[in-house]
Structures are given as C-alpha cells and as structure tokens.
Amino acid sequence: MVLMDKTARRHRWDTKFAPYGYVAPYFLIFGVFGLFPLLYTIWVSLQDRNLLESEAATFVWFANYAKLMADPYFWNAMGNTLSLWLLTTVPQILFALFIAQLLNRKVRTRTLFRMGVILPNITSVAAVTIIFAQLFGRDFGLVNWVLELFGAGQIDWQAGTASSHVAIAVMVVWRWTGYHALIFLASMQAIPSTLYEAATLDGANGRQQFWRITVPLLRPQIIFTTIIATTGNMRLLAEPLLFNPGAAAATGGSDRQFQTAALYLYEQGFTKYDFGYSSSIAVVLAIATVVVAGLGYLATKRIRTE
C-alpha cells in the first residue's frame, strides 16, 4: 500500500514538474547570456560609461543618442550599411532563385552539385574574407589580373566607396547564395508538375513559367529569405574588418569608406571602450534592422500570386 502510494506520487511529480526541468537549461542559459545582455544594452545606452571606470558610470538620459544623431561617422556607417544591404540582399535572392531553378532539373550527380553550392557556406567568414582580400589585391590580385587581360585596367578595390562595397558584397553573396538556393529548391520541389504541364500546353515558355508559376508560388519562401538575409546583411562586421586588416581595421578603410554600423559599434566599444555610446549604436542598429526588414517584407509581399 505504501509502495503504491510512493509510485503514484512519483508519477504525479514526473508528469507535473519534470517537463519544466527538461526545458529549464535552455531558458536559464539563454536568459542570462542572451536575453539579459540584449535588454541591458538599452540601459547602458543611457549611461556615460566606459570599460576602465565602470564605477564612474553616470546616467545621462538620451545624451548618447543626441551625440549619435549629430555624428557624421555614424551616418556614414549607416549609409554604408544600407548600400551593402542592397548590394548583397538583392543579388543573393536573384542568384539563389536562378541556381535553384538549375538544380531543380533532372541532372546526374545531383548530390555533387548540391554540395557544391553549399561549400561556400561552410567555410568561415574570416577565411573567406582573407581569401577574397587577396583576390581583390591591388597589385597582385587575381581579379585585377583578369581585368587587365580584358584591357579594363587595375582597380584599387579598397580605395573607393563603390569598388570596396562591390568587393565586400561579392564575399557575402558568394558565401550565402547557395544556402538560400537550397531552401528555394526544397520549396520548388513541392510545386506539382501538372501546373507546368498545363502551362506548357498553353504555350508558355520556360521564362514565362518561371516568373508566372515558380516565383509566385515561392512567395512565402522569398519573403522569409529576404527577412533572414536582411538581419544578417544589416550587421556585417567580419568582412569590412578583415578586408583591410591591420592597426586601423576598425575604421573600415582610410576614409571609412566601408565602415558598417556594426563595425562602428565595434570601434566605439572595443577600441575606444566607450560602452555607453557603443550601446546606443546597437539600439539604433536594431531598430534600423527591423525597419529595413519591414521594407523588405512589403516589397516581397507584392509578388503577385494571381
């Protein structure tokens, strides 16, 4: 009798409380090392605070934000961020659609091609950037050598605003396009082939079928990818940092021509140790990311589904 009672009690405990124990590790660790720092950023952004004298932190209301709004380096960094967002996100999605379309045909060595497109995504961002920095080198880079062959002359990729943005965009697009292509491919395979058969009978050619059937049916996936790519591309840091590594890496080029907002946050936070100011950049960047992702959503939502 006593034994029965004990097992019953244990069973009750097991069904009622044990599940919380199983999910607790996630919430504990994420709460302490993920969510708390994120929210605390807002508090730090209202302080005049640096690494060296944290006791001397003073509450300054919105002084950091006021300074930020009048800071030309910040606006330069935001401009670069938006330019890079456009130069990375749009080609990523267009190329990914194109590659997914190719992968969706019946081909031999299917797995080889699929693995091939994902290869860039498994290489580290640090290695990728260093490799591309060498390829885009002014004097001995392969890209300039090829341009020279075609008589286009050499380009000092790091020096100009436009050229440096193109070079960085190439790195990002190279690393992420294949990944998005596989996501699109998965959705393409779910499109019933009868739709294409009917369209073929109606005389629609491949291009018409792509824009009138494939793209509209992939709309949810395109919206999703746009948002995911936006959150990534709005906080590019490793690429601009390592494109011109060295003592002044955090400024993103000699004239800050490719300093992103995330890189400016890093410069203020971890080379000047101005934690309050750096946190205000983080908050504004977070808001800007939400706004831009919203714009991306509105743009991709307009794809006609007919």
Contacts of another protein in 214-273 (CB under 8 A): 228, 231-232, 235, 237-238, 241-242, 245-247, 249, 262, 265-266, 269-270
Q: Residue 83 or 101: which CB sits closer to another protein?
A: 101
Size of the site for another protein (CB under 8 A): 100
Shortest Å, Cβ 231 to another protein:
6
Handedness of CA 103, 109, 115, 120 (dihedral sign): negative
Shortest Å, Cβ 207 to another protein:
12
- Judge contact between 175 and 121, C-beta under 8 A: yes
Tokens read off for 56 = 């001397």
Pattern of binders to another protein over 66-95, x per CB under 8 A? ------------------------------
Which residue shows structure tokens 């508090």? 43
Nearest Cα to 157, choosing from 173, 146, 168, 149?
Answer: 168
Candidates 105, 207, 302, 304: give the one binding another protein (CB under 8 A): 105
Q: Residue 114 or 219: which CB sits closer to another protein?
A: 114
Rounded CA-CA distance 140/134 in Å is: 8
Nearest Cα to 242, choosing from 92, 107, 98, 124?
Answer: 124
Which residues 127-146 are close enough to bind another protein by CB under 8 A?
Answer: 127-128, 130-135, 139-140, 142, 145
Task: With H, G, I as helix, E, B as strand and everything else as coil, classify residue 123.
Answer: coil
- The CA dihedral of 73, 76, 82, 84, to the nearest 10 degrees, is -100
Contacting residues for 44 by C-beta, under 8 A, at least 6 apart: 275, 276, 279
Pattern of binders to another protein over 2-21, x per CB under 8 A? -----x--xx--xxx-xxx-
201 binds another protein (CB under 8 A): yes
Nearest Cα to 239, choosing from 90, 116, 87?
Answer: 87
151 binds another protein (CB under 8 A): no
Shortest Å, Cβ 137 to another protein:
8
Tokens read off for 239 = 């690429």
Candidates 81, 251, 279, 300: give the one binding another protein (CB under 8 A): 279
294 binds another protein (CB under 8 A): no
Which residues 14-53 are close enough to bind another protein by CB under 8 A?
Answer: 14-16, 18-20, 22-23, 25-27, 29-30, 33-41, 44, 51
Shortest Å, Cβ 303 to another protein:
20
Shortest Å, Cβ 23 to another protein:
5
User: Contact region for another protein (CB under 8 A) — 64-72, 154-162, 196-204, 295-303?
Assistant: 196-204
Shortest Å, Cβ 92 to another protein:
14
Shortest Å, Cβ 195 to another protein:
12
Handedness of CA 121, 125, 127, 129 (dihedral sign): positive
- Phi and psi at 50, nearest 5°, equal -130, 170
Rounded CA-CA distance 87/85 in Å is: 6
Candidates 82, 125, 147, 303: give the one binding another protein (CB under 8 A): 125
- Judge contact between 59 and 46, C-beta under 8 A: yes
Question: In Å, how far are 40, 56, 86, 272, 275 from 52, measured between CA atoms?
Answer: 19, 9, 38, 10, 10
